[in-house]
Amino acid sequence: MNKRIAAMNKKISPSNRASISIFERLESEVRSYIRSFPVLFDRGLGSTLIDAGGREYLDFFAGAGALNYGHNNPAFKKPVLEYIERDGIVHGLDLATSAKKAFIEAFERYILKPRGLNYKLQFTGPTGTNAVEAALKLARIVTHRSNIVAFANSFHGVSVGSLSATGNKKYRSAAGYPLANVTSLPYDGYLGPSVDTLDYFEKLLNDPSSGLDIPAAVILEVVQGEGGIYPASFQWLQRLRDLTKRHGILMIIDDIQAGVGRTGKFFSFEAAEIVPDIVTLSKSLSGIGTPMSLVLLKPELDVWSPGAHSGTFRGNNLAFVAGHAALETYWADSKFEEEIARKSAILAEELKSIANDFPNPGLSVRGRGLMYGLVFQKDHSLPVQISREALRRGLVIETCGGQNEVLKFLCALTIAEADLRRGLSIVRDSISAVKNTMANASPKRLHGSER
């Protein structure tokens, strides 16, 4: 460490150095994750987070899916450092740069070609929501229709266009004015296992008096992330693909969270053997956590006029450099997919065993790949309490679902098996601890501790 910094650090007491009070004083009330994890994080390495006081945490959160390859993956860090060292272009709008060229070539070579996919690439502004905005705009321009069908419990971002397609009331009510031009329909399983919700959609489409304006597109996640880890069955996805084709409706898969290996393959829709018309990617696409977003579109849909969907930060070259390294390191053969499948089996089995060991009405397990949820259908307050207890025990794990009723397992895909098992055992201990506290609490006290 630099001597001056070391001397400065000495002057600040350890407690002050790790304090987060300035965030509470100066940062807007809109801050969110810091409330669940009130820790001053300083360093990240693979699946380990280190706070300013030097304490280590295991990361089962992975930047909400932006860190599928872990923190500061050495395979990406080195080329990024070298790129800066040689004064490679960092900001380039959408100018041609050698870093961007290498990323596009790698994307074609390792992702599109082997899967027989024929898409053009549109780099949008760097956030996921901007890719969704572009996808929705494009669908509307191409079809000359304004309505979009989205699904209950979906999350597509919080800028107004994508927010219109997002289910959660908390986000929607923050729009400030009515959200329009989206029809929300029940996702797979929304009405229980015995109802195929596409019967309803198909009937609406075929009935001229149904009141449904034929949509430009349907937009959906193959496994809904923020909404509570709901995986759609492959059969349902195939039927939806057929239905949309027959009615001339575009299918947009929002693969921002479920893509880039999260559900076992690069794209979440691969296993269902469907090909969407438009795909949005972001979060882990850059590998190292720097922002980048991408829309994949079928060539015949490419009706954009030059610059029509613009943006200053469409050329994050550090993201291109790291993203290129990620594609080359992990997607040149099938080893990574096999590794994900192995860890997925461990995760699924261990979660089922946890669910068995804590007989609790409404406790269930949902998910695919390394995207799983432990669902507390009856005790909605439990996941938040378990997450807090886990943090005390050195594990960072978040909750999701409309009422935070789901404990969300989203470890890095590169996590060591030993760390995966260690994290799961911390979860198990945390559930025990929370249950014991509840059992020992008087009913009155228990009520008071609920959020």
In the complex, minimum distance from the CB of residue 282 to ligand PLP, in angstroms, rounded to a whole number: 5
Minimum Å gap between C-beta 224 and ligand PLP is 8
Provide the minimum distance between the beta carbon of 115 and ligand PLP in the complex, in angstroms, as a whole number. Answer: 20
Alpha carbons 412 and 370: distance in angstroms, whole number: 8
Of the candidates 410, 131, 378, 114, the residue with the CA atom closest to the CA atom of residue 261: 410
Least distance to ligand PLP from the beta carbon of 136, Å?
Answer: 12
Q: With respect to ligand PLP, which residue has the nearer C-beta, 188 or 221?
A: 221
CA pair distance 135, 279, nearest whole angstrom: 8
Which residues of the shown chain bind ligand PLP in the complex (CB under 6 A)?
127-129, 132, 155-157, 221, 225-226, 254, 256-257, 282
Sign for the CA dihedral angle at 242, 183, 304, 98 comes to negative
Give min distance, CB of 379 to ligand PLP, in A: 26
Nearest to 220 by CA among 173, 193, 188: 188
Nearer Cβ to ligand PLP (282/404):
282
> What single-letter DSSP state applies at residue 85?
H
Residue 46, token pair as written in the block: 């693979």
Shortest distance, position 99 Cβ to ligand PLP, whole Å: 21
Which runs of consecutive H residues, i.e. helices, occur in 358-416?
382-392
- Please state the closest distance from residue 245 (CB atom) to ligand PLP, in A: 23
d(CA 356, CA 282): 36
Whose Cβ is closer to ligand PLP: residue 368's or residue 424's? 368
Sign of CA dihedral 289, 34, 55, 11: positive
Nearer to ligand PLP, 297 or 382 (CB): 297
CB 427 within 8 A of CB 353: no
Residue whose beta carbon is closest to ligand PLP: 128
d(CA 414, CA 68): 7
User: How long, in residues, is the chain?
Assistant: 451
Rounded to an integer, what distance in angstroms lies between the CA atom of residue 41 and that of residue 8? 19
CB of 164 to ligand PLP, least distance (A): 13
Residue 281, token pair as written in the block: 């990617």
Spatial distance between the Cα atoms of 262 and 371, rounded to a whole number of angstroms? 6
Output the smallest distance, CB 130 to ligand PLP, in A.
7
Q: Which is nearer to ligand PLP, 88 or 126 (CB)?
A: 126
For 89, the token pair is 């272009």
Q: Cβ distance 124 to 314 under 8 Å?
A: yes
State which residue, 52 or 260, has the beta carbon closest to ligand PLP. 260
Closest approach of Cβ 52 to ligand PLP, in Å?
Answer: 26
Q: Where are the alpha helices (DSSP H) in 144-258?
A: 160-164, 169-172, 197-206, 234-246
Shortest reach from residue 131's CB to ligand PLP, in Å: 8
Asked whether 347 and 372 are in contact (CB, 8 A), the reply is yes
Pick 44 or 63: Cβ nearer ligand PLP: 63
CA distance 298 to 278: 7
**Nearer to ligand PLP (CB atom), residue 175 or residue 204:** 175
Residue spans of beta strands (DSSP E) within 282-416: 294-297, 363-368, 371-376, 395-396, 398-400, 406-409
Q: Which residue, 159 or 364, has its beta carbon nearer to ligand PLP?
A: 159
For residue 345, what are its two tokens?
Answer: 């089996």
Closer Cβ to ligand PLP, 70 or 167, answer by number: 167
Residue nearer to ligand PLP on the CB measure, 148 or 382: 148
